[in-house]
Amino acid sequence: MKKRPSFQELAQKANVSTATVSRIARGQVNVDAAIKERVRLAAEELGIDLDQRRNEKSTIIAFLLANRDILHNFQARILFGAENYCSAQSKELLFLTLRYSPTVPSRDLHLPRILNQRALVRAVILGGTNSPNMLDALREREIPFSVLGNNVLGEWASSEFDAVYSDDTQGAFDLTGHLITEGHRDIWFIGDNDLPWYARCATGYRERMTKSGLMPRFSEIHSDDRQLGYLAMRSILSRREPVTAVIAGSDQIARGVYEALQQAGLRIPADISVAGFNDSEAALMDPPLTSVREFPEELGKHLAEFVLRRVQEPDRETQQLTIPTRVVVRASTRAIWSDKPVPESNGAGLTSNV
């Protein structure tokens, strides 16, 4: 059997030190680009696969939670799904956190130092909230990654990256349709539309309202989740706006809506129906909250699947997946009388009291 060329032979051929070859093989990024290219060409001539050498012993995938609270329920469940999948594939998941500005140029973005050690970390799952400069930074450093597409801020070339999505637009469309079939016409949407996950929910809500010839109504307050729900609901009530139902962009926003309605002496759902999104804590609320169920564990599973596949097949086509949602009907919404005709509905995406 032919002996595999050594790093010492590669160093001699590329006219660099053995230490430099080792640093490149470990994936360290602080090596001059021209030297890296010289070593790469020499490696090709000798039949040395530096990527294979770099990664063949590592079993670690990093889950990078960016710009999000470490105790965030939805993100924690994504992490859980990713960890389960990695474990089943005999891989280990390393949890990292990072806060960064979307305005920092990608080349100046300071990643966790361990990500520069490619011999330790094979690839990255991007959770939390990310911006295009992070995607560019990982691509420039040749670090394989997958990303939760729902939570990327700003304009980005989504078709160029391995991404998994939750179909929040369709979920909001279905939830709005459910309320319309229950007789509601004055339905409000509360969410910070500057954030992409709320904006997509707002899109689904708007499309369904417009389809039924109804006027979409949006809150104009920008704040954190629970406070947003509270302040927006107070504002709607103080202006005496017509409202029979409210769709909150998250269950946390719905908690704030509950608080404002209870302070105003209004009953849920006797006076106003309330629905949420995520189904993260809806069943524990009083009354139990009608909500759009997403499947974060499935998101995590497929994010891990995509990134491990990318490690094995670097040149494969871009991987994209959208996971459906489901409306779960509980006691926070009810049917009301309406003098307007009720649009037909096939009940798609609905379950009750689950």
pLDDT at 338 over 60: no
Q: What angle do CA 270, 275, 277 make, to 5 degrees?
A: 165
Long-range Cβ pairs for the range 20-28 (8 Å, 24+): 24/50, 25/50, 25/53, 25/54, 25/119, 26/54, 26/117, 26/118, 26/119, 27/54, 27/116, 27/117, 27/118, 27/119, 27/142, 27/143, 28/116, 28/117, 28/118
Q: Is the dihedral of CA 280, 278, 150, 147 positive or negative?
A: positive
pLDDT at 342 over 90: no
Full strand arrangement of the beta sheet holding 121-128: 92-98, 60-66, 121-128, 145-148, 163-166, 320-323
**Could you give all domains of the chain from N- to C-terminal order, each with its CATH number?**
7-55 (1.10.260), 60-167+299-324 (3.40.50.2300), 168-293 (3.40.50.2300)
Give SS3 for 196.
helix
Residue 119 vs residue 89, higher pLDDT: 89
At 120-178, the pLDDT tens digits run 788 999 999 999 999 999 999 889 999 999 999 999 999 999 999 999 999 999 999 99
pLDDT of residue 55: 54
Residue 85 vs residue 47, higher pLDDT: 85
pLDDT of residue 352: 46
If you average pLDDT over every residue of the chain, what do you get? 89
Residue 246 vs residue 113, higher pLDDT: 246
Distance CA 333, CA 3 (A): 72
Mean pLDDT (whole number) for 349-354: 50
pLDDT band for position 345 (50/70/90)?
Answer: very low
Give SS3 for 289.
coil
Closest to 252 in 3D by CA, of 225, 292, 224: 225
Q: What angle do CA 118, 121, 127 make, to 5 degrees?
A: 125
Residues in the chain: 354
Give SS3 for 322.
strand
Q: Give the rounded distance of the alpha carbon of 2 from its chain centre.
A: 48
pLDDT of residue 231: 95
At 241-281, the pLDDT tens digits run 999 999 999 999 999 999 999 999 999 999 999 999 999 88
DSSP H stretches of helix in the chain: 7-14, 18-25, 33-46, 50-55, 73-88, 132-140, 168-181, 196-211, 225-238, 251-263, 296-312
* Residue 37: count of CB within 10 angstroms of its CB: 11
Distance CA 346, CA 206 (A): 19
Mean pLDDT (whole number) for 229-245: 96
At 35-44, the pLDDT tens digits run 888 888 888 8
* Residue 88 one-letter amino acid: A
Distance CA 230, CA 245 (A): 15
pLDDT at 2 over 80: no
* The token pair that represents 334 in the structure block: 């009810």
